[in-house]
A and B are shown apart, each in its own frame.
Chain A
Amino acid sequence: MQISIRQLSKSYGSVAALNAIDLDIASGELLALLGPSGSGKTTLLRAIAGLEPINGGRIQFGDIDATELSVQERRVGFVFQHYALFKHMSVLDNITFGLRVRKRKYRPAREEIRRRGEELLKLVQLGGLEARYPNQLSGGQRQRVALARALAIEPRVLLLDEPFGALDAKVRKELRVWLRQLHDETGYTTVFVTHDQEEALELADRVVVMNAGSIEQVDTPEAILRRPATRFVAEFVERDAAGHYTAAHPPHPRTVHERVAHAVRVG
């Protein structure tokens, strides 16, 4: 579903967290919100979900004005940074929670709920683990359960808060590839928050670079790397001569060939 955000503002007391944000997200797009901590990216994500009350502006889901809708009515799939899986429920019960709390009129039959839960488990490659409890799963498995739980409600949009933040480097890489594949298979409009520029640039169709509550640039990864719109963007995604992003996280390993070719081009 297409999402448009107009003049969205949010402040905590006198501190502005979001300054009149305008943003259009295309249907089926995979969009990254990239920025340092405190840039307002998580606040923006939570505002889209309805978890954060806003001071002004409008949020539109397709033809629906979502600004005044409650969290429940917005029907967004939200994956929390630490997953927020319900500890006292089995994996299957976690995934089907969104179906089981529906009003009787809209609630599928018990067998249908179970069938859909198992189907989603297979989709996230955890078939057979339905009876496990969250504390019996690895970090990567929990993350996928959280994703399946969010998908179960057939959300209008999928929102992920630092989806790989709590995972170690190796699992992070694998899940990144997998998430991209899942997105391409299911076609949900997806927005994810990250402070890791490599993650944003590799995974997303378009990247929104945020700083101090404002959007600095919205563009494809290519364009952001080649034509940074502001000094902030340039510095945030800067690479060294060998093609490495200079911030804490190294990019995907390049072959010596590529590096030399790049160095020659730059040189």
Chain B
Amino acid sequence: MGTIAIPHLTRAPSRRRAMPGFGLTLGFTLSYLSLIVLIPLAALAFNAAGLGVGGIWKVLNTSQVINALKLSFGGALVAAAINAVFGSLIAWTFVRYDFPGKRALQAMIDLPFALPTAVAGIALTALYSVPTVPSPAQGWLGVPLEALGVKVAYTQLGVIVAMTFISLPFVVRTLEPVLEQIDRQYEEAAATLGATRWQAVSRIVFPALQPALLTGTALAFARAVGEYGSIIFIAGNLPNLTQIAPLLIAINLDQHEIGAATAIAAAMLALSFAILFAINLLQAWVRRSERKSA
């Protein structure tokens, strides 16, 4: 018996892992991420570096570029905030209530995902624009809104409308599974302890949803920043006013201004990274304040 045990004792046990395949999977993960994410981003950074700090600054420090970046990021923040509120409401309704037509509505939530963005852009433009000649297919919302003094098409509001439209599914779809996990018993427990409906939702349900809400909002934001196809139709693309940064990149590429396009792209990359990083920090902080979930 003792002789059988000896080989076990002589082998260094620490080299063996409980979960096999670590080397292989890590190797694959790193190569794949390099190929798909890291190399293109590195190429962009490399090209931008070729311009030098002065060169990049020269491109960026024009009112047209600054305004376009402001619009892309500011609009995306507003759109993400709108979706955080109304997306939560929609997710809540879908998870908590049963009503006829729920499944059809639920399928519709994914449409902004599935629709080619140009189609969305054209549809939104037709809805919100005010046709010069009365037309049955155009201006359904644009004409009455104009009567109220609100212009949507070809304004910054139009950009936000398009961004909100295309980023809605991210909040709803991120929240739904998490909401489903929250047992009704927690709210019942809160009620027996004397908590009003509002107290139960704000103190019990909301804290449990918070991480998912943050993730969904971040995804919606990222999608809205990068959105191009639907916005260019409804925005009207007036320089300094309704021109978004991705469009400026496309225009520069069209005119073979590769350097300028690269500089703007690098700026977007840096800003996006900074914002997503900040959101991640916020998330880590939220998690830590909830403490020791493991």
Contacts and interface: CB of A to CB of B under 8 A. Distances in A.
Interface stretch (B14-22, B54-62, B86-94, B203-211): B203-211
A90 B237 CA distance: 53
Q: Counting chain A CB atoms within 10 Å of each CB, which of B186, B194, B196, B204 scores highest? A: B194
Given A71-B191, A86-B186, A97-B193, 13 more contacts: A51-B191, A78-B188, A80-B185, A80-B189, A84-B188, A88-B208, A88-B290, A97-B195, A98-B195, A101-B190, A101-B194, A101-B196, A133-B291
The prevalent SS among residues of B at the interface is helix
A25 B207 CA distance: 39
B25 interface: no
Nearest to A132: B292
B192 A71 contact: yes
Contact of B193 (A82, A87, A149): A149
A102 B186 CA distance: 18
Interface of A: 49, 51, 71-72, 74-78, 80, 82, 84, 86-88, 97-98, 101-102, 133, 135-136, 149-150, 152-153
B31 interface: no
Contacts of A82: 185
Contact of B190 (A76, A77, A97): A97
A105 to B, nearest CB: 13
B195 A72 contact: yes
A251 to B, nearest CB: 31
A33 to B, nearest CB: 17
Contacts of A51: 188, 191-192
23 contacts: A51-B188, A71-B188, A71-B192, A72-B191, A72-B196, A74-B192, A77-B192, A82-B185, A84-B183, A86-B190, A88-B290, A97-B190, A97-B193, A98-B194, A101-B193, A101-B199, A101-B203, A102-B194, A133-B291, A133-B292, A149-B189, A150-B192, A153-B193
